[in-house]
Amino acid sequence: MAQSASETRVPRSTGEISLSFAPVVKEAAPAVVNIYARRVVQARRSPFRNDPFFGGLFRDFGAPQPRVQNSLGSGVIVSPDGFVVSNYHVVGQADDIRVVLNDRREFQASVLIGDEASDLAILKIEADDMPFLELRDSDTVEVGELVLAIGNPFGVGQTVSSGIVSGLARSGTATGNGRGYFIQTDAPINPGNSGGALIDIAGRMIGINTSILTRSGGSNGIGFAIPAALVVEFLDQARDGKTVFERPWAGATGQPVDADLSDGLGLLRPEGVIITALHRASPLAAAGIDVGDVIIEVAGQPVNTPAEMVFRMSVQGLGEQVEMVYLRTGETHRTTVALIAPPDDPPRDTRVLKEQDVLTGMEVARINPSVTAELGLPLNKEGIVVINPGALGRRVGLQIGDVIRQVDRFVIEAPSDVGLALRHAAPNIQIEAERGGQRVILRFRA
C-alpha cells in the first residue's frame, strides 16, 4: 500500500537519516524574531536622606538614578498582520521593545496582553504581509517526534537546534518551576531561546520555548515549551481587545492521585485529580461534582495534575461548556461544566485610604472569588485584604495579600472599617493580620 506523504514514520535507511532540515528551517526561520527589551528602574534612595545631620553630609550618596535593565529573548510571528508571541519574563515589564527579524528589519512593539502565571505575552508590530508560523494542534503531538528549536541563545544570533519530543503533560514540580503545563524536549534550549519556536518537521509551531531544568545553568537536554493550544487562546483574547488574560475559574482545589490515595479510593490505578475543596460558587459544584470526587478527563483529555486541569479549561476559553469525567465510589460519571470567570461577588468595595486615615494610599478590598484569584489566596478565605499597602503601609510591615482582622480592639468587617479604626486607634496603633495562615502583629506610632 502506498505511503501517505504526510504520514510520520521512523527513518528506514541511512539516506533518510542524513536528510537535511534545511528546507524546513528556510521556511520557518523568517517568522522567528529576536527581541530586545529595556526597562527603566529607579535605584535605591540614600538611607540618610531624612537624617538631620547625615542628610546634608551625604546629600548625593545613593541619589535616585534611573537604571536600565536589558533583557534578550526570542519571539514568533503568528499572523501576517504582525502579532508576535513571546514569554512574559522577556517582555512583560519592559518599557521599550524592539523586534528584529531574520532579514535585519527592526520594529517597535507593544504588549497587548501578558500573563505571568502562564509566562506568555502577545505583542503587536505595525506591519503587514509578515512571515508567520502556522500553529499546530499541540494535542496531536506525540512523544518521539522530531522537533527543532529556533531562537537567539546568548545573543549570538538566530540558531537552530534539533531533538525529539521527550515527554508530554509535564507540569508541577517535574518542570522545576512548580506551575504550568509543558511539552518536554531534548532540543538544546539556552538563555535567549526563551520565547522562540519549537516546530515539527513540517515547519508548524507546536510550542513556545520557555525554560530548562538544570543544576549548572547549562542546557542538559531537558527543556520545556508552552503548548500552541494555549497560544491560540492568548491570540484570540488579544484580538478581542483584552489586556489581561482571562482564564476560567474552577473554584476548587485538588491534588494528584498517587498510589496510596488510589488504594484508599479503591481505584484500579493512580489517575486523575481528587477534589479537596470547593467554593460555594464553583461551577464544578453546580455541575454535581463534590469533594472527594476524582476528575480523570476534561474535554476528552486525561488530567493527572491540577495544572493540567487548569490548562485544559484555559484552552477551551470563557463562556464555553466542557465535559468532565469523574469517579465517585468507583463509578464513572460525566457532567458538563460552564467555564466562567471568578465572580466579583460579594462586591469587593475597594477603598483607598486618605490622609486622615493614617496609612495614606493603602488599598483594601473585601475578599471574593475574583480577588482570591488575583492574589492567589486560599480558596475559601474571607475578610478584608490588602490590595496595595502603599508606601506608608510597606514601611510598617504590611504586604499585599495580608488579611486585616483587627486594628486594636476594632474587628474589621468591611473595607470602610479600616480607615475609621486607624483614626480611632492613633497614635499608638496595633494591627492584627493573617499572612500565609499565620497570625501577624504590627505595632507602630502614627
Here the CATH number for the domain that contains residue 371 is 2.30.42.10
Residues 115 and 138 in one domain: no
- 359, 391 Cβ separation under 8 angstroms: no
Domain count along the chain: 4
* Higher local confidence (pLDDT), 62 or 226: 226
Single pTM value for the model: 0.80
Q: Which domain-ending residue is among 172, 205, 239?
A: 239
Residues 223 and 181 in one domain: yes
- Give the percent of the chain with pLDDT over 90: 62
> Which of 41-45, 269-273, 419-423 has the least mean pLDDT?
41-45
Per-chain mean pLDDT for the chain = 86
* Higher local confidence (pLDDT), 372 or 1: 372
- Would 16 be classed as within a structural domain? no
Residues 269 and 208 in one domain: no
Which residues constitute the domain of residue 332?
252-338
Residues 376 and 405 in one domain: yes
117-172: pLDDT as tens digits: 889 999 999 988 899 999 999 889 999 999 999 988 776 778 888 899 998 877 75
Residues 153 and 103 in one domain: no
**410-411 and 428-435 beta bridge pairing:** unpaired
Contacts of 16 by beta carbon, 8 Å cutoff, 6+ apart? none
Residues 137 and 231 in one domain: yes
Q: Which domain-ending residue is among 96, 125, 154?
A: 125
Residues 138 and 234 in one domain: yes
- Would 182 be classed as within a structural domain? yes
| pLDDT above 90: residue 181 | no
Report H helices in 385-429.
390-396, 415-425
- Would 13 be classed as within a structural domain? no
- 162, 203 Cβ separation under 8 angstroms: no
User: Residue 239 CA to chain centroid, in angstroms?
Assistant: 19
- Give the percent of the chain with pLDDT over 70: 84
Residues 361 and 432 in one domain: yes
- Would 7 be classed as within a structural domain? no
- 386, 404 Cβ separation under 8 angstroms: yes
- Would 326 be classed as within a structural domain? yes
- What's the pLDDT at 173? 46
- Of 74, 82, 86, the residue nearest 36 (C-alpha): 74
- Would 180 be classed as within a structural domain? yes
- Would 18 be classed as within a structural domain? no
Q: Which domain-ending residue is among 125, 142, 175?
A: 125
Write out the H or E segment, with its range, that includes residue 265.
helix 259-265
pLDDT, mean of residues 411-416: 96
Phi-psi region of 177 (alpha: psi -120 to 50; beta: other; left: phi over 0): alpha
Residues belonging to the active site: 89, 119, 194
Residues 196 and 162 in one domain: yes
User: Residue 150 CA to chain centroid, in angstroms?
Assistant: 22
pLDDT, mean of residues 339-356: 94
72-109: pLDDT as tens digits: 789 999 999 999 999 998 888 888 899 999 888 999 99
What CATH number is given to the structural domain containing 194?
A: 2.40.10.10
Residues 48 and 119 in one domain: yes
- What's the pLDDT at 41? 54
* Higher local confidence (pLDDT), 326 or 72: 326
Q: What distance in Å separates the CA atoms of residue 236 and residue 208, rounded to the nearest whole number?
A: 16
Q: Which three cell numbers stand for residue 353?
A: 485610604
Residues 192 and 97 in one domain: no
| pLDDT above 90: residue 433 | yes
DSSP assigned state of 114: E
- Would 395 be classed as within a structural domain? yes
Residue 178's pLDDT band (boundaries 50, 70, 90)?
Answer: very low
> Which of 45-59, 107-121, 210-224 has the least mean pLDDT?
45-59
Residues 29 and 111 in one domain: yes
Q: Which three cell numbers stand for residue 295?
A: 476528575
